[in-house]
Structure 1
Amino acid sequence: MKRLDIEGIDSIVRSERLRLEPLRPEHAEALFPMFCQPRVYDWISLRAPASADRLAARWRTLALERTEPRAEYGFGWAVRRELDGAWLGKLDADVRADGVAGNVGYLFDPGYWGQGYASEAVSALARHLERHGVHEQWATVTVGNKASMRVLGRAGFIQTRVLKGNDTIRGVAMDDVEFVRRAADAPG
């Protein structure tokens, strides 16, 4: 099994149309408008950040946590379109020291939904994580969120089971579908 490369994970990822930049406090101003759009929260339990400053502070804390050895590291990437520099969304993953990434997640500005950007970004991120020693990746999607399930399927994730009452969205218990991508089974 390949050794986990934390510094390598925290690097720029490129795909055909996208550039994934390690999430830093300076990305907060550009991405904050996306976090203000109610449709972003249709299928997730996150709440909108109070301000771009609060978002920057959260991302600053995550970056600082990666400077010390720990059992799990939180990573994030700001997604930018190469063609015109537009900020499209963000990706994240919690990477454990044993090479398993849990909570692989993504948020995209609704103005860019349905154009293949999320599938392209998640696929690029999955390959990037594997190149740097992550051998297994996990994600969950709220039951009914068919678009997000397609994103994970296109990125080589396989549906494993339904997790009853795994999340609470706007006060309602919701079931999640669990997905996994294992490096040994992943498409090239």
Structure 2
Amino acid sequence: MSPALAAHLAGAIDTPRLLLEPLTGAHAAAFFPLLQEDALYEWISMTKPDSLGDLTEAWRRSEQRVSPDGLFAWLAWAVRRRSDGRIIGRVDAEIDAKPEATNLGYYFFSPFWGQGHASEAVAAASEQLIARGVRRLVATVTVGNLASARVLRKAGFEFTRILPANDVVRGRAVDDEEYVRLAPLRY
């Protein structure tokens, strides 16, 4: 995956209520305190960052948007609310050479749950990726995470299957639901 193609795929995205901007180390200061919230980790395998410095450095290393082995584009967007500029969440995607999004993920902070922001952001990121040539997008959610499954369905994804013991959340193996969104066929 070339850095130029990865940068093209990771461009900024505007929606009526949101700005999705390519995630950089500079975003870490706004994210760090929000990432300390326990509710965020109920359904996802991510762990709390140890320090602002560690988070900043990790996100700086990923600014080139390409995996260390060069096989994948690693895209990430900070989601900001237009009305007040507040950081409300993140959307990310791993793109292979086909190009397919083998893993589209997202999280939003609890003060912003239930307001349609996640659906809007995931749909916008998916549409941008499709417009830029990605043909298939795959996302998974932990079985039982009904809110996240609704986000994916609203963003045009369809349930495809259960993946047994696909992830580990808080030290426990969990089953995931897989959702897929295909680009429209072009003739």
TM-score of Structure 1 vs Structure 2, range by shorter chain = over 0.9
The corresponding residue for 2:156 is 156
SS at match of 1:29: helix
Alignment of 1:116-155 (within 5 A): 116-155=116-155
Deviations 1:46-88, CA, capped at 9 Å, x for gaps: 1000112211111111123539892211110000001110110
* SS of the residue 1:167 aligns to: strand
* C-alpha contact 2:67 2:74 (8 A) present in aligned 1: no
Contact preservation (8 Å) 1:62, 1:74: yes
**What SS does the aligned partner of 1:106 have?**
strand
- Rounded to whole Å, the distance in 2 between the matches of 1:108 and 1:145 is 14
Quick check: 138-147 or 30-39, which moved more? 30-39
The equivalent of 1:91 in structure 2 is 91
Q: In the alignment, residue 97 of structure 2 is paired with which amino acid?
A: A
Separation of aligned partners in 2, 1:104 and 1:36: 23
Show CA shifts across 1:128-157 (max 9, x none). Answer: 111111111101000000000000000000
Give structure 1 stretches of 5+ with no counterpart.
none
Unaligned runs of 5+ in 2: none
1:34, 1:108 within 8 Å by CA — same for their partners in 2?
A: no
Q: How many residues align?
A: 182
**Which residue in the other structure is 2:56 paired with?**
56
How far did 1:20 drift? Answer: 0.1
Equivalent position of 2:174 in the other structure: 174
Question: Paired residue for 2:113?
Answer: 113
- Check 1:67–1:45 CA distance in 2 against 1; reply closer, same or farther (3 A cut): closer
**C-alpha contact (below 8 Å) 2:6/2:65 kept by paired residues:** no
Moved more, 156-165 or 62-71: 62-71
Q: Structure 2 CA distance, aligned partners of 1:49 and 1:143?
A: 25
Q: Paired residue for 2:78?
A: 78
Question: What is the distance in 2 between the residues matched to 1:72 and 1:145?
Answer: 27
Contact kept in structure 2, 1:5 and 1:133, CA below 8 Å: no
Q: TM-score, normalised by structure 2?
A: 0.92
SS in 2 for 1:173: strand
SS at match of 1:90: strand
RMSD: 1.8
Percent identity, aligned pairs only?
Answer: 43
